[in-house]
């Protein structure tokens, strides 16, 4: 190969490397600038910035939207434009996770769409929704034994392993009854969302901002005592802070009318924290 050609190839390679470095620096600067703007915007308006902006929306395969329609009350009552955003987020969430069938469970797109839909439901009011803290989603046919503790679980989030695990049977039981305040998927994904925030390297800025308000309420001794004595949230909520948030989220989405009636201030704070009001997706008040 002539020396001039080698020099030219070397020049092109170096130029490309420089362009990549410049692009990385510009991306970092833009992200930092946007982050600062978002913080200012939240402080001034109390609302997140551009939560549903999507330039090119992805779609499910033909007919798969019926899986969302049949399993998510929220999706059924969204306007068409927001249904498209919900569907896009489901597709993107699926693309970013590895779904693994355990104990012989055969994972299909049907299972992936339902599990992804739960994560999207939880985070639909937020700008960031992908929860990169989760790398793998393990699906068992039924309750499973944790090999580390020997305990039998219906679901779990393992921070060190970067996975969330579900018993499919118990997951679907939670979806089948939308008013029993038991929703395994919402429970485990709430754990992941909170731990993502605590790590601080991805957390949705708005969620983190509003989370502090909720934490301040439940940490106050008078409020903590009142919540422990109140019969609305099931007893498991008072195990620790993580379980309180996970159980409260289940109640928030499953029985919003009762939540708002029984614990109005807490309901308002959860609605602000997640930037969504489940009452918008419950068309008829129970008993009417």
pLDDT in tens, the chain (288 residues): 565 656 566 666 666 666 655 544 544 444 444 455 655 555 566 666 666 777 789 999 999 999 999 999 999 999 999 999 999 999 999 999 999 999 999 999 999 999 999 999 999 999 889 999 999 999 999 999 987 888 999 999 999 999 999 999 999 999 999 899 999 999 999 999 999 888 766 667 888 888 999 999 999 999 999 999 999 999 999 999 999 999 999 999 999 999 999 999 999 999 999 999 999 987 655 544
Find where tokens 């068409």 sit: 80
First to last CA, the chain: 84
Residue 106 makes CB contacts below 8 A (sequence gap 6+) with none
Task: Give dist(CA 238, CA 243) in Å, integer.
Answer: 7
Query: Angle 41-46-50 (CA atoms, 0-180°, nearest 5)?
Result: 55
User: To which CATH superfamily is domain 65-281 assigned?
Assistant: Glucose-regulated metallo-peptidase M90, N-terminal domain (1.10.472.150)
Tokens, residue 163 = 């996975």
Rounded to whole angstroms, what are the CA distances from 94 to 131, 135, 188, 194, 207?
A: 11, 11, 17, 20, 22
Tokens, residue 233 = 């949230």
Domain ranges of the chain: 1-45, 65-281
Tokens, residue 6 = 């080698």
């Amino acid at each position: 190969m002539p020396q001039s050609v080698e020099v030219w190839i070397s020049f092109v390679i170096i130029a490309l490397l420089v362009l990549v470095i410049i692009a990385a620096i510009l991306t970092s600067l833009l992200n930092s600038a946007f982050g600062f703007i978002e913080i200012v915007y939240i402080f001034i308006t109390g609302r997140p910035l551009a939560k549903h902006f999507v330039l090119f929306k992805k779609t499910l395969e033909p007919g798969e939207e019926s899986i969302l329609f049949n399993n998510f009350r929220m999706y059924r009552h969204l306007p068409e434009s927001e249904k498209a955003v919900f569907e896009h987020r489901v597709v993107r969430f699926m693309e970013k996770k590895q779904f693994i069938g355990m104990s012989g469970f055969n994972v299909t797109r049907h299972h992936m769409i339902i599990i992804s839909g739960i994560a999207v439901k939880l985070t639909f009011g937020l700008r960031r929704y992908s929860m990169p803290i989760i790398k793998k989603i393990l699906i068992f046919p039924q309750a499973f034994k944790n090999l580390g503790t020997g305990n039998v679980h219906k679901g779990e989030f393992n921070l060190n392993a970067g996975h969330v695990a579900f018993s499919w049977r118990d997951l679907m039981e939670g979806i089948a009854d939308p008013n029993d305040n038991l929703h395994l998927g919402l429970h485990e994904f709430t754990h992941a969302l909170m731990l993502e925030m605590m790590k601080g390297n991805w957390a949705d800025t708005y969620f983190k901002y509003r989370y502090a308000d909720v934490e301040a309420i439940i940490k106050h001794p008078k409020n903590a005592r009142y919540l422990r004595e109140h019969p609305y949230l099931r007893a498991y909520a008072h195990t620790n802070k993580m379980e309180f948030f996970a159980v409260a989220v289940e109640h928030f989405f499953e029985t919003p009318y009762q939540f708002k009636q029984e614990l109005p201030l807490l309901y308002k704070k959860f609605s602000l924290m997640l930037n969504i009001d489940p009452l918008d997706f419950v068309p008829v008040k129970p008993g009417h």
